[in-house]
Amino acid sequence: MDISAHDKTALELFKIIITKGPLTLYSANARSNIPIGTIHRHFKEMIETEKIMVYEMSQAGRRKISYGPTLYGFIYFYRLDDEIKKNLDSYFGTWIKKEKFLEDLKKAGFDEKKIIADGKTSKKIFSKFVYFYAGVEDQLEYLVKNLKDVSRDIRWFIGGFLLVRKREYMKTYDELVTTMPGLRKDISNFLESMIESYGRLKKMNK
């Protein structure tokens, strides 16, 4: 995968964070050759895009803010770097000890009771989760860059899914479903497949 200069710098900083962190802006600067202003811009952007987050904030004396990775940060940069792929288990073992990272995993749906109690299984699930959603990110990036090559039905499905959550389009959508039997059939087929998947999920939870 071709990596932009911007992503190369972000990747370098992210790798410093996951190997040496949690880190402040200045400690990241001390561990790299990247100018402090560039680090500040990248940290700000990575916080806004949820790739890193605040782990610690010291109010004593000069305020110090330490940053660490998010689950999404691992997913995003996993796609760009073989070293992260190779050492993912090790990174998990390090960051699972941090309460902030643990909370991030819980929000993503990881089993709260088993994350710590069954570390071996959690590590495998984490690796599979990162692998799968890195693939999702690749597909989204492909859609953005190659929309003209994506079939009409897929574009309409994704766009429609996003659009019907907007109140001003709900009535129009309901009218279309009511008056178009073909559209109703497509939606019905989709919902049936979702129900089947839900049924399998319920069996797993028993």
For the chain, which domains are there?
5-149 (1.10.10.10), 151-206 (no CATH)
Tokens of 202: 């319920």
95 contacts 68 by C-beta, under 8 angstroms: yes
69 sits in which H/E element: strand 64-69
> Cis omega (within 30 of 0) on the bond before 35?
no
Residues of the chain predicted below pLDDT 70: 1, 60-61, 191, 194, 197-206
User: What is the token pair recorded at 199?
Assistant: 């049924």
| pLDDT tens-digit map of 129-186 | 999 999 989 988 888 888 888 888 778 777 877 787 787 887 887 888 788 888 778 7
CB atoms within 10 A of CB 101: 22
Alpha-helical (H) ranges within 4-35 are 5-20, 25-30
